[in-house]
Amino acid sequence: MLSVEEAQEKIFLQISPMGAEKVPLSSALGRILSEEIVSSLDHPPWDNSAMDGYAVIASDTRGASHATPLRLTVIETIPAGALPQKKIIPGTASKIMTGAPLPAGADAIIKAEDTHPIGQEVEIYAEGDADFIRRRGEVMQKGNLILKKGVRIRPYEVAILASLGLSEIAVFKRPQVAILSTGNELCDLCEPKGPHQIYNSNSYGLMAQVVEVGGIPIPLGIAKDTRSDLITKLEAASEADFILISGGVSVGDYDFVKEVFSEKGKGGGMAFWRIAMKPGKPLAFGLVFGKPTWGLPGNPVSAMVTFDQCVRPALLVAQGALNRFLPVVQAELMENIQKEAGRRHYIRARLYIQGGRYCVAPTGDQDSANLLSFVEANAYIVIPEGEVQVKAGSQVNVQIIGAIGQDQGLSP
Ligand code: AMP
Ligand code: MG
């Protein structure tokens, strides 16, 4: 059986990068930059005040304090958004607002709290401070590399891009991912559920995972466990960039998904079937209609875990993302874990901080049919193939899948 890394490498070989497109900045959140961003301007564009106060000549203000106040003549007020009209000469000051350009002649600011206006004059109780001047180009200069290609755009990058005046951003296209669930027992949410049926949860979970990683899901509904229905329903995937099929990939009498790779693989066929992970062993991957296609195990937890480990990284590679893997930290394991040797385990878990350290505890029953192991889970504990027992108190590798909170005293 392949290791997870070997499987990932075989998958990456089949992934070509999506093309680029321009999107309005207001729609760029979550997208991945397809070109590096170089500043076209200096920011700030001029020396300006970091404080509401007075622009002064520093040497004019030497020795000023509450005990020994000094007076200067105020020659103008400079609001943000105006250009100064007058030059500061010895004995004068201009009232200035935060962000307003520094007037000629001034080389320091006195903050408003250290002053008191008296008619056309101002009494000052502190020396002028050059640190309250924000210098031209201090944040960025024309020609500086600001953001690398492959960066995911967060709200912070949106603000940075706006500060550069960019209203359109070049990003990688979102991959279109067809999702087909298989199983005679499945009932869609809009249908009345028969006594022999369960709801199709995989299609919805996988659609959400696709959206979260930047893709566009194309739901293809449910295929019956027949070769012909599987093939017919899959035809609708021919426009997609990637295909996910859930269920029917194991060794049951009605598990036909593996045959789809040979029938529709256009010679590419199935690259592998089965990997050394739990949950998720029966994962299949190959080409269908020439497109990278995953046969995900039907068990609901297995489908989602194999997505996180083997589909998510590929969709990120396709989008040119710099970071393709889940972030990993080391944490103290809070309970003993036992497993069989042979496969790598991905244990749904709660990662939290206690006493300044990362701690992690499984979220209960780890059966691959029990989706409730994801309730309160924000991490996977990764237990290597060869391990059979990991004792509480050991350090373990943990992949982060959600926000980390402080310990709230909840039992894991
Ligand atoms: P399979 O891989 O088709 O043998 O399915 C394994 C288990 O997962 C069975 O108990 C199925 O009923 C269940 N299952 C398969 N597909 C889905 C789905 N789309 N939604 C919920 N459960 C599923
Ligand atoms: Mg099935």
Instruction: Give strand ranges (E) for 3-91.
Output: 20-24, 37-38, 48-49, 53-56, 70-78
pLDDT above 80 (res 359)? yes
Please work out whether the CB of residue 84 comes within 6 Å of at least one atom of ligand 1.
no
Domain 48-134 has CATH 2.170.190.11: yes
| Three-state secondary structure call for residue 63 | coil
- CATH number of the structural domain 20-41+141-172: 3.90.105.10
Question: Average pLDDT in the 9-35 region?
Answer: 97
Min mean pLDDT across 8-22, 125-139, 330-344, 394-408 is at 394-408
| CA of 251 relative to ligand 2 center, distance in Å | 10
Please work out whether the CB of residue 279 comes within 6 Å of at least one atom of ligand 1.
no
Contact by Cβ (8 Å): 179, 206: yes
Task: Tell me which ligand sits closest to the C-alpha of residue 183.
Answer: 2
Please work out whether the CB of residue 200 comes within 6 Å of at least one atom of ligand 1.
yes
Task: Check residue 61 and give its pLDDT.
Answer: 98
Task: Check residue 410 and give its pLDDT.
Answer: 53
| CA of 84 relative to ligand 1 center, distance in Å | 71
Question: Average pLDDT in the 95-124 region?
Answer: 98
pLDDT above 60 (res 409)? no
Q: What is the pLDDT of residues 146-161, one digit of tens each?
A: 999 999 999 999 999 9
| Omega within 30 of 0 (cis) for the link into 44 | yes
- Nearby residues for ligand 2 (ion, Cβ within 5 Å): 183, 247-248, 298
Min mean pLDDT across 122-131, 157-166, 251-260, 360-369 is at 251-260
Please work out whether the CB of residue 250 comes within 6 Å of at least one atom of ligand 1.
yes
Spatial CA neighbour of 201 closest among 302, 84, 348: 302
Please work out whether the CB of residue 247 comes within 6 Å of at least one atom of ligand 1.
yes
The topology (CATH level 3) of 328-400 is: Beta-clip (2.40.340)
Task: Check residue 260 and give its pLDDT.
Answer: 87
Question: Average pLDDT in the 268-290 region?
Answer: 93
Please work out whether the CB of residue 186 comes within 6 Å of at least one atom of ligand 1.
yes
pLDDT above 60 (res 408)? no
| CA of 183 relative to ligand 1 center, distance in Å | 7
CATH superfamily of 4-17+174-318: MoaB/Mog-like domain (3.40.980.10)
Q: What is the pLDDT of residues 179-227, one digit of tens each?
A: 999 999 999 999 999 999 999 999 999 999 999 999 999 999 999 999 9
Give me the chain's average pLDDT, please: 95
Domain boundaries, the chain: 4-17+174-318, 20-41+141-172, 48-134, 328-400
| CA of 221 relative to ligand 1 center, distance in Å | 14
Task: Check residue 262 and give its pLDDT.
Answer: 81
Burial class (CB in 10 A: 0-12, 13-18, 19+), 185: middle
Burial code of 65-84, b = ≥16 C-beta within 10 A, e = fewer? eeeebbebebbbebeeeeeb
